């Protein structure tokens, strides 16, 4: 049967500002998402069993009902125009819960792939709206363009930024996003961006709190800062340092403490998943 293999790229939040808290508990924020040319890989194979959605590979014992790949497939199932089921194989490369969007990216890639294979014929905005039911970051990956997100993350403003090399480091700790966003010490009053804003004037409003709650993140940031400009992405725990070329990033990666994971990647203006899907369709 037909197989489609696509990447689910990592993302970085180059800044994250929290502007306030709404009555429903959600936070108003502004953040710059960019995609990397590194990520998980998913292979989608159509099967003759029309009711079956099978997930295999590096699923790390996640119950099916909690698996975002499975949820994405189920949410798209009512729209399919053919009877086939699907086998989905995940090759996991990104750290789980690290702030690089692994689960959200996997879900978005699933929506994009099955929209094609199942001939659902949904538009990107329609897929993004479905993706929002799976998580606030999923629409960003569905849209697939470097963008500033506003509101609760659903208002996307595409933006062009310079291409850089990044060393992304995952310390051996899992940060609870819920703990961070409900913590009384989290800043929630950063003014909204003004016209003509510069990336150099931005920061991550979660970083100081996460450093206090998770000393391993503080240690990671301090270590990377010896070599290059450094920030935490999202609510962590992953941190990244920015380099002008691959060789400089590689030299630092080679000295990485053994208890940390790390990878090198470039940012891309368009998600590699979208490029691969377009090439497959042509």
Q: How is residue 261 written in tokens? A: 């994971």
Pair 139, 277 in one domain: yes
Domain that holds residue 35: 3-159+270-281
Asked whether 246 and 254 are in contact (CB, 8 A), the reply is: no
Residues 14 and 145 in one domain: yes
Handedness of CA 57, 70, 9, 183 (dihedral sign): negative
In this predicted structure, the answer to whether residue 61 has a pLDDT above a threshold of 90 is no
How many structural domains are present in the chain?
2
pTM: 0.95
Regarding whether 224 and 112 lie in a shared domain, the answer is no
In this structure, the answer to whether residues 57 and 183 fall within a common structural domain is: no
CB of 191 closer than 8 Å to CB of 215: no
Please give the distance of CA 75 from its chain centroid, rounded to a whole number: 20
If asked whether residues 40 and 74 sit together in one domain, one would say yes
26 vs 82: CA distance, rounded Å:
38
In terms of domains, do 121 and 193 share one?
Answer: no
For 17-58, the pLDDT digits (tens) are 999 998 888 899 999 999 999 999 999 999 998 789 999 998
Average pLDDT over residues 232-237: 96
104 with 221, same domain? Answer: no
Kind and range of the H or E element at 102?
A: helix 102-117
Amino acid 60: pLDDT: 63
Q: Are residues 152 and 78 in the same domain?
A: yes
The more confident residue out of 62 and 77 is: 77
CATH of the domain at 100: 3.30.230.10
Q: Quick check: 184 pLDDT over 80?
A: yes
Summarize the confidence of residues 176-197 as an average pLDDT.
Answer: 94
Q: How confident is the model at residue 188 (pLDDT cuts 50, 70, 90)?
A: very high
CA distance 94 to 111: 19
The pLDDT tens digits of the residues spanning 111-155 come to 999 999 999 999 999 999 999 999 989 999 999 999 999 987 778
Residue 104 clears pLDDT 70, i.e. is over it: yes
Pair type for strands 85-91 and 147-150: unpaired
Same domain, 150 and 65: yes
Q: What is the dihedral of CA 192, 132, 242, 188, to 10 degrees?
A: 30
CB atoms within 10 A of CB 41: 17
CATH number, domain containing residue 200: 3.30.70.890
Residue 97 reports pLDDT greater than 70: yes
Residues identified as active-site: 11, 137
73: number of Cβ within 10 Å:
24
Give me the pLDDT at residue 241, please.
98
pLDDT of residue 14: 98
Same-domain pairing of 67 and 78:
yes
What is the predicted pLDDT for the residue at 68?
96
């Amino acid at each position: 049967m037909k197989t489609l293999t696509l990447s689910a790229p990592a993302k970085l939040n180059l800044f994250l500002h929290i502007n306030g808290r709404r009555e429903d508990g959600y936070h108003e924020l502004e953040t710059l998402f960019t995609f990397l040319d590194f990520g998980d890989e998913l292979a989608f194979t159509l099967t003759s069993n029309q009711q079956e959605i099978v997930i295999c590979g590096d699923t790390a014992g996640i119950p099916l009902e909690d698996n975002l790949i499975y949820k994405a497939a189920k949410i798209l199932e009512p729209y399919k125009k053919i009877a086939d089921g699907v086998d989905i194989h995940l090759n996991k490369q990104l750290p789980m819960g690290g702030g690089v969007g692994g689960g959200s990216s996997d879900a978005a890639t699933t929506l994009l792939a099955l929209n094609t294979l199942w001939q659902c014929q949904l538009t990107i905005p329609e897929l993004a709206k479905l993706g929002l039911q799976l998580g606030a970051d999923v629409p960003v990956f569905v849209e697939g363009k470097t963008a500033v997100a506003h509101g609760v993350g659903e208002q996307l403003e595409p933006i062009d930024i310079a291409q850089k090399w990044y060393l992304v480091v995952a310390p051996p700790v899992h940060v609870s996003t819920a703990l961070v966003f409900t913590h009384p010490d989290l800043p929630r009053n950063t003014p909204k961006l003004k016209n003509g804003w510069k990336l150099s004037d931005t920061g991550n409003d979660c970083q100081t709190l996460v450093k206090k709650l998770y000393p391993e993140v503080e240690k990671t940031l301090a270590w990377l800062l010896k070599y290059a400009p450094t920030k935490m992405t999202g609510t962590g725990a992953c941190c990244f340092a920015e380099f002008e070329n691959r060789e400089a990033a590689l030299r630092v990666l080679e000295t990485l403490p053994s208890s940390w994971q790390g990878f090198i990647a470039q940012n891309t203006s368009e998600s590699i998943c979208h490029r691969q899907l377009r090439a497959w369709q042509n």
